[in-house]
Structure 1
Amino acid sequence: MPDAHRPAHLVPPLFGQNAVEDFQRSGRIVSLTVSPRDESIAVLQSEEDLRALSKLANDYVNFCKECCLYASQNISRAEQLQYDAEHYRCLWTCFSLFAVLYLPEPGFEDAPVGDELMEWLNTHFIQPSTQEGDELSSQDRPWEDPAFWPYLTRTALRGLSKASAFFLNTLSEHPSPYLQNIAQQISPLLTNHPRLHQFSAERDFAVASRRWKDKVKTLRLELDRVPESARDDGFDNWWDRVSDIVGVLEGRGDVMKKVCSELDADWKEVCSAWGVFVDTRLRRQDLPEVVAQVLDELPPDPTDREDMVHSALFLGKPTHALSESAHLDGWLAAHLADLMEPIELIDCEPDDSELTLRQHYVLGYAEYLHTDPALWRITVDYMYSCGEVGREMADQVLMRVPLRLDTPSEAEGAGDEAARIRAGHLAGVLKDINETCFEYQREEIRRMVCRIAAQTFIRERKYGLAISYCTSAEDWVGLGRVVDLVLEEYIGEGSEQFAQLVANIAPSLQSLRAGAGTKIPAPGVFLHRLMFVIRFAEFHQRRASGDGQGAAVDVVAMFREDIVPQAWWAVLLCDAVELLQNDGAMFFTSEDACLLMQRLESIHIMAAQGCSDDYLPVLCRVTKRGEKHALQRLEVVRLSLARYYARCGAIGVGGRPNGWGY
C-alpha cells in the first residue's frame, strides 16, 4: 500500500493551482480506492453527490413544467408573464433531455437508454394526437380513412400499445381474412413488447427481447405467405402498411427511417425508436454515433434553437449545447452549466478572463438579473458562486442596492404610523444585506453598506439610527462625526430641539457598552463623547421639566466622571446657573459647588494664559457673541457660585470643604 502521507499527483488534476477553496465551495468531495495489484489510485465520484445532482436536475425540470402549465392557463393576470407557454415548454424539453442523458439515477448510468428516450419523446412531442384517434374510433370502417394506417404505424412506433391494440382489433371486421389473422398476431406482440423497466436484471431483459424477436420473425414468415392478389383492399395496400410495422418491430434501421420520413417525423423520433427496436441495448455513450448517422439524412432545423440544443445533447456535445442554450434562454444555459461542471462534462479550468465556462454562463445570467434592482438577492447568489471575479461583482451590487432610506414626501407629517411602516421597510432591506454578507463572509462590504446607511440617516437628522449603523460598521470616526453634528444641533437650534433629537440615541450607548466584550470595542474617546451628548440632553430634559435636583445631579456627575469635553465646560456651567439662583431649593452641596468653581477657575486661568480657543469658542457660538461677552457670562456664573456657597455656609448645607481655593 502507498504511504498515507505521500502526495498523490493525479492526471488530469482535480483542480488548478490555488483553487482548493473554489473546489470546496462547489460541494464536491474526493474519495479514492487503491488497486491491490499496482498501488494505483482511482478517484471516484460520490454516489451521494450524483444522487443530489440528479435530484436537483429533476427539480429544475419540474420547475420548467410548472411554469409551462401556469403560462398555459387562460386566466386574467395582474401582470403579464415575461414569456409565453411555448418558451417554457422549450426549457422543459431541453432540461428534461439533459437529465435523461447525463444525470440518470445512480446505478443506471450504463443501462440501455432507449425506453427513457421514448418516454421523453412521448411526453414532450405527442403524436399521434388524441383528436385523430377519436375521429378514427367513431368510424365503422376506419381502415378506409387515409389517416388510419399512419395512425396505427405511429402508435406502434411510439410504443402506445393500448391504442395500437384497439385499432388492430377493429381489423377483425376487415374483409381480408389474411389481415384479420395478421392483426391478431401483431396485437399481443405490441402489448407484450419487453421493456427494460419490467425486469430486475438486464440479462433477463436481453433474453426476453430475443424470444420476442423470434416471434416477430415468425410473423414475418406468415406475412410473406400472403398472396400478392390479396394484399390490397381497394383503399390501400394493407400488406405494405403492415410490412412497415413488422419491419419496425424487426429492428430494421432502413425501414425505421423510411417510416419516419413518410410520417413526417424528425430525427428525434428515429433516434428514440432506434434504442427501442433496432438496438435494444443502446448505451448513452454509444448514442452519439447513432445520432450522427441519423442526422446525416435528417438534419436538425438550424433556425430552431430548441432543436439545436436537443441535437447537441444527443450528440454528446455539452459545450455546443450550452452555446445554443444561451441563445434560447440565459437561465437555461446557466443552470445546465452549473450541473455540467461537477459531472465533468465541461472544462473547469479558467480561461484568460479568469473564468471557467460555467462561470461565464452563470455570470451572464446574473448580469441579466441585475437589470432589475429588485432582484439583487438572487443576483448576488449567482455571482458569489463564481470565484473571485464573481465575488467582486457581487460586492459592487451589494454596495449599490437601493436602500430607500430617504423619507418619502407623502409620509412627511403622516405621524407615527408612517414612521413605523418606514422603519420596518428599511430594517428589512438592511437586514437582508447584512445576512447576505454574513452568509458569504463579506464583512468589509457589510460595513461599507452600514456606513452608506449611516450617511443617509445623518442627512435626515436621524442620529440614533446613524449612530447604530456607524457602530455596526465599526466606523468610529463616523461615530465621532455624528456626535459633533448632534452637538451642532444644540448650538444652532437650542436645548429643546437638541433634547428631542438625542432621545433616540440612548439605546445605541447601551448597545456599545453591552457589546464591548463580544465586538471590537469603540475607542474610549468616542464612547465618552457619546456619553456626554446623552447625559447633556438628559440634563436639559430634567431642567425643562422642573426636576432641578435631578438636573443638578447630572451636572455634577458629568464633571466628576470627566466626560465633559473642555470646549463645553463653559456652556454647561452657564446652563447650570439657574439651578444656583433658585431661592427656594438647594440642589448642590457645598462640595458640589466647589467642584463647579474649580472648573470655572480652570477656564479663567487657561484663558489668561492664551488658551481661550480650547474653552470659549462653543460658548461664543451659542451666545452668538464674542469672547469678551463669554467671559462676562462666566463672571455671572462666578457670582452665582459665590452667593450659593455663602448660603450653604449660612444654613449648614454640605459642610465646609477643604481646598476651596477662592
Structure 2
Amino acid sequence: MSSTSDELLALVPPLFEQGRSDDFRRAGLGLAVQISPRDDCLAIHAAPYSSGSQQTSSANHNVYLARLHAPPSAERRVFVTDTSIIFAAVRKLISDTKSNTHILAEVEAAEAMSKLAHDYINFCHECCLYCSQNITRPEEIQLGVAHYSMLYDNFSLVALLYVPEPARENVPICDDLMHWLNMHHVTPSSKETERLSALECPWEDARFWPTVLRLVMRDFSHIAAVFVRMLARHPSPFVQDLSARLVPIVSSHPRLREFNSEREFVIKLRRWRDNVKTLRFELDRVPEEEREDSTADWWEWFSDIVGVLEGREEVVRRVCEELRTGWKELLAVLCMFVETRMQRTDLPDVVAQLLEEMPPDPNDVENKFQQCLFLGKPQEALEEAAKLDVWLAAHLADIMDFKQLLDPDADESGMSVRDHYVLDYAEYLHSDPTLWRITVDYMCTCGDVGAEMADQVLLRVPLKLSKPANADQASAAIRAGNLAGVLAEINASCHEHKREEVRRTICRVAAQTFTKEKEYGLAVSYYASAENWAGVGRVIDCILDEYILGGPATFAHLVAGIAPSLQTLHPTSGEGSIFIHRLRFAVRFAEFHHHKLQGHYTRAAYDLITIFQEQFAPKSWWAVLLSDAVDLLRTSNVMLFSASDIHLLICRLEDIHIATEQGATDDYLSILAKTVRSTGDMRAQQRLQNVRLILIQYHAKCAIMGVGGKTSVNGTLIY
C-alpha cells in the first residue's frame, strides 16, 4: 500500500480486535518500523517495546508493508526521467553564472533560464497530449491528463510572473496575462460557441449575450466579431447598425505585442478608444422604447460590451461579478481594458485588493498556490506547490533560488529552502530503486546533506556481478576487463559528483565479489582502483593458497588473468609498492609453472632464476621454489642451469638451513609442509635434503662438462 503524509493508514488485518489495545500493551508489545535501505518502503510489525518484555516471535504477527510514495510508473516515469535532463541544464546554467571561468551576462542568464522554464512547460504540455489520446497503452496511466494540465497551467504562470523573457520583463503584463488565462482557463467553451452559431436566431437564446460579452472580455476578437456579425439578421435596425459599427472596433483592438514600442501602443490605443466613444454616443441615442426585443434587453448587454471596451472599471467589476468569473479573470480584464499599462510589480497590491473583495475557496490548494504567486510570496507558494506535486515544488524552488527569491540561509539541518524541496522530490524518486542515477543527480545539488544521502543511495545499488553462466551482456563485458553495466554507471556518477570515497567503497565491494568467485585479476584491478592495498594483499594470499590447495595447474590457470592488470598498477604509497612486489612474485611464480606444465623447461628455468635474482620471492616460499625445481634439475637431455645458477640455488638452500637451525622453521618451511600435506616439518626437511642432493649432483655435472656462465631466455649459455 502507499500513502501521502496527509492520509491515515489502517493495518489490515488489524493487529488486535477493537477494544483490545490494553491487552496488546500488557503483552509488552508495540509497533516497530523498519525502513528499507533501497527505497522508501516501510515494514511495520509488532515487537517488544522494552528489553524486559516477553519476547514474541515475529512469526506470530503479520508484517505490513507500506510506502511513503507510489513509485513513478507508466507516463510518470518517462516524465521524471526526461525532465531531469532539463534540471541538469538548469544546474549547469547556475554553475556557469557562479563560475569565475565562465561568466554569463545577467541578461543572457535570464534569457537562458526563461528558455529552460519553457522547456519544462512544453514537456508538461506533451504529457497532457499523450494522456488525452485514446490509444491502447502497455500500462495504465498513473496520474492522468488533469494532473499534467495542472502542472502545465501553473508552471506557465510561474514563467509568466517570475521568469519572463528579459525583453518583456519591464513591459505591461496585459497581453501575457490574458494569453495565459485563455490558454489554461478557456471560456466560453468551444462546444457552447458551436451550439450558438448553429442557431437560426442565436440572440433569442439566453446564453447568447453572456457569451458575446465573455468573448469580448477575453479578447477573442475574431470569434467575438463572428457573433456580432450574426446580429445583422436581428429584426431591430438599431441592433443591425450598432453591430456593424462594433465589428471593426472589436476586430482592431490593439495588442501590445503587435507594436515595436510601448509608445506606439499607447497612441494606437487612444485612437481606438475614440472610436469606442463614438459607438457609445450612437448607442445612447437609441430611443428607450427600442432598447428591448422579445427575448432580452439587448441594449443593456450592448452597453456592457461597450463599457468593457471603454475601460470603465465599475462596469468590468460588475459584469465579472454577475458572470461569476473569479478574481483571476477580473484581474486579466482589468489589465487588458482598464489598467493597460500595469506592470508585474503592480500585481501584488492589485491582487490583494481583489482577494478582499472576492474571497476564494480556502480549501482550493491550486487557487491558493496561484494567489501566492500573484502576491509575490514565493516561499508560501512552494508550500502549496508541494501539496499539488512534489515535482512542481522542487523545480520551482530551483528556479526561484536562481532568481534570488528564496531565503538563502540554511536552517538547523544545514539545508536551504530550495534544498528542502529538491530533497523531498529526490526521496520520492527513491521510491523506485531503478531511478537511482536521477535520484543521486538531484541529491548532489543539495549541499553536504544531499551528498551524504546520495552516498547512501549509491552504496546500496545492486552491482549485478553475476557469474557468466547467468550473466547479461554487461556482466560479461565486466569480466572481459571492461567497465560496463551498473558498475560503469556508478563509476560515472561518482566521478560527475566527486564522490571519490563512495567510488572506492563500491570498487572494494566489487573486488570482494570477484575474490569469492576466484576472478583474481578483476579483484586486483578493483582493489587497486579503490587504493585498498590491504585488499590486494588478501587477494595475493588467496592466489597463493590456490597453489597449496589446488596444485600448480589450478594455480597457473587462475593467475593467468592477473598479468595484464599488473601493467596498469601504479601505487602512490610505500604500502602499495609492497603489495605490488608480492603480486609480481605470484605472477612470475604462475608463469614458471605454466611454462613447466607446457614443457617449456628452458623458459621455466629462466623464470625460476629470475625470481631469486630479482628477489621477488618471500623467504617463506624459497623452500617451495627449490622443491619445484627438482623436475628441471632431473632433466637429462639438456643442461637448463649454469654453474652460477646452481650456486645461487645452493645459497638459498643454505640460508633456509641456517634459519631453521636457529629456530625459524615456521618462517621458512610452513608453506612447503602444507604442499606435501605434512602436519610437521619432518617431510619438508626431507624434501629439502633431496633437493640438496640433486643440486650437488647437478653442480658436479656442470664442473665435469665445463658448463658455466648465465642462462639466457632461449636456453643458450652466455659466458
Q: How does 1:519-538 map to 2 (within 5 A)?
A: 523-538=576-591
Give, in angstroms, the shift of residue 563 of structure 1. Answer: 0.2
Deviates more, 1:354-363 or 1:644-653: 644-653
Q: Is contact 2:372-2:381 (8 Å) kept?
A: yes
2 CA distance for matches of 1:191 and 1:489? 91
Whichever residue aligns with residue 484 of structure 1, its letter is D
Deviations 1:321-367, CA, capped at 9 Å, x for gaps: 10000011111111111111121211111122221111111111112
1 CA distance for matches of 2:336 and 2:412? 45
- Asked whether 1:541 is paired with 2:594, we answer yes
Structure 2 SS opposite 1:588: coil
- Asked whether 1:649 is paired with 2:649, we answer no
1 CA distance for matches of 2:427 and 2:516? 32
Q: Identify the residue that residue 450 of structure 1 maps to in structure 2.
A: 507
Q: Identify the residue that residue 257 of structure 2 maps to in structure 1.
A: 197
TM-score normalised per structure 2: 0.81
Give, in angstroms, the shift of residue 286 of structure 1. Answer: 0.7
Give, in angstroms, the shift of residue 380 of structure 1. Answer: 1.7
- Asked whether 1:640 is paired with 2:694, we answer yes
Give, in angstroms, the shift of residue 643 of structure 1. Answer: 2.1
Q: Is contact 1:404-1:426 (8 Å) kept?
A: no
Structure 2 SS opposite 1:635: helix
Q: Is contact 1:406-1:456 (8 Å) kept?
A: no
2 CA distance for matches of 1:62 and 1:23? 20
Q: Is contact 2:477-2:484 (8 Å) kept?
A: no
Give, in angstroms, the shift of residue 425 of structure 1. Answer: 9.5
Give, in angstroms, the shift of residue 91 of structure 1. Answer: 0.8
Whichever residue aligns with residue 241 of structure 2, its letter is N
Does the C-alpha gap of structure 1 residues 101 and 25 become closer, same or farther in structure 2, counting only changes over 3 Å?
closer
Q: Which residues of structure 1 form unaligned runs of 5+?
A: 1-21, 32-43, 658-662
Structure 1 SS opposite 2:166: coil
Q: Is contact 2:481-2:522 (8 Å) kept?
A: no
Q: CA RMSD in A?
A: 2.6
Q: Identify the residue that residue 481 of structure 1 maps to in structure 2.
A: 538
2:140 to 61, 69, 80: 80
Give, in angstroms, the shift of residue 210 of structure 1. Answer: 2.1
- Asked whether 1:437 is paired with 2:494, we answer yes
Whichever residue aligns with residue 91 of structure 1, its letter is L
- Asked whether 1:363 is paired with 2:423, we answer yes
2 CA distance for matches of 1:182 and 1:24? 56
- Asked whether 1:47 is paired with 2:107, we answer yes
Q: Is contact 1:373-1:402 (8 Å) kept?
A: no
Whichever residue aligns with residue 593 of structure 1, its letter is I
Structure 2 SS opposite 1:603: helix
Give, in angstroms, the shift of residue 500 of structure 1. Answer: 1.6
Give the length in aligned residue pairs: 617
Give, in angstroms, the shift of residue 468 of structure 1. Answer: 0.5
2 CA distance for matches of 1:451 and 1:417? 19
Deviations 1:567-586, CA, capped at 9 Å, x for gaps: 11111111121111122232
1 CA distance for matches of 2:93 and 2:198? 63
- Asked whether 1:610 is paired with 2:669, we answer no
Q: How does 1:371-410 map to 2 (within 5 A)?
A: 371-407=431-467
1 CA distance for matches of 2:93 and 2:390? 26
Q: Is contact 1:300-1:311 (8 Å) kept?
A: no
Q: Is contact 2:320-2:330 (8 Å) kept?
A: yes
Structure 1 SS opposite 2:379: helix
Q: Is contact 2:601-2:632 (8 Å) kept?
A: yes
Deviates more, 1:488-497 or 1:640-649: 640-649
Q: Is contact 1:474-1:522 (8 Å) kept?
A: no
Does the C-alpha gap of structure 1 residues 48 and 647 become closer, same or farther in structure 2, counting only changes over 3 Å?
same
| Overall identity of the aligned pairs, in % | 52
Deviates more, 1:473-482 or 1:304-313: 304-313
Give, in angstroms, the shift of residue 406 of structure 1. Answer: 3.9
1:273 to 330, 333, 337: 333
2 CA distance for matches of 1:552 and 1:598? 17
Q: Identify the residue that residue 557 of structure 2 maps to in structure 1.
A: 500
Give, in angstroms, the shift of residue 239 of structure 1. Answer: 1.2
Deviations 1:583-604, CA, capped at 9 Å, x for gaps: 2232222221211111111111
Q: Identify the residue that residue 550 of structure 1 maps to in structure 2.
A: 603
Whichever residue aligns with residue 342 of structure 1, its letter is F
1 CA distance for matches of 2:279 and 2:461? 72
Q: Is contact 1:30-1:45 (8 Å) kept?
A: no
Deviations 1:11-32, CA, capped at 9 Å, x for gaps: xxxxxxxxxxx9997544599x
Q: Identify the residue that residue 153 of structure 2 maps to in structure 1.
A: 93
Does the C-alpha gap of structure 1 residues 593 and 432 become closer, same or farther in structure 2, counting only changes over 3 Å?
same
Deviates more, 1:106-115 or 1:519-528: 519-528
- Asked whether 1:354 is paired with 2:429, we answer no
2 CA distance for matches of 1:619 and 1:86? 78
Give, in angstroms, the shift of residue 381 of structure 1. Answer: 1.6
Does the C-alpha gap of structure 1 residues 617 and 80 become closer, same or farther in structure 2, counting only changes over 3 Å?
farther
Q: How does 1:97-116 map to 2 (within 5 A)?
A: 97-116=157-176
TM-score normalised per structure 1: 0.88
Whichever residue aligns with residue 292 of structure 2, its letter is D
Deviates more, 1:427-436 or 1:308-317: 427-436
Q: Identify the residue that residue 12 of structure 1 maps to in structure 2.
A: none
